[in-house]
Amino acid sequence: MKFIVSRTSDWKGETSFTSRMKQPIEGAKAKKLVSIERKKGKTLDEARRREWGEEFFERGSNHREEDGCVVRDMGTEFKWVVEIPTLKELLHLVSREEREILISKCTSYKGVEWELEIVDSYL
């Protein structure tokens, strides 16, 4: 499984990837990912009738229906990505870090289903 991985301490108010950000864990690679935005609406026709419909179609590209939502691509961003093939390896990472790790479903980027955030500071 592919995970976007970050550390709470790396963000410090930054909202985008920078080359100054350290590799959050061993094996993570900087990958260019397509950012996507999802909106509630089963069809593109329904989306056009919503109050946000006009803006939705003005920006982004590849507008489509996906998993009961309308979706658009919003460009690309670099993120740290790590592949963890087994649950055993994921649990090994958790025990090695000796930190709280948040696992969440990723719905904002193509090709990555999960996000890991290593909570190594509290903002």
Triad 106, 110, 114: Cα angle to 5°: 25
Domain chopping of the chain, boundaries: 2-38+74-119
Residue written as token pair 């904002």 = 108
Q: Beta-carbon neighbour count of residue 109 at 10 Å?
A: 20
For residue 88, give the amino acid letter.
K
pLDDT of 50 strictly over 80: yes
Q: What is the pTM of this model?
A: 0.80
β pairing state of 114-119 and 2-7: parallel
End-to-end CA distance of the chain: 29
Average pLDDT for residues 27-50, to the nearest whole number? 94
Triad 16, 22, 25: Cα angle to 5°: 110
Tell me the pLDDT band of 121, cut-offs 50, 70 and 90.
confident
Of the chain, the percentage scoring pLDDT greater than 90 comes to: 65
Alpha helices (runs of H) in 36-97, residue ranges in sequence order: 44-49, 53-58, 87-97
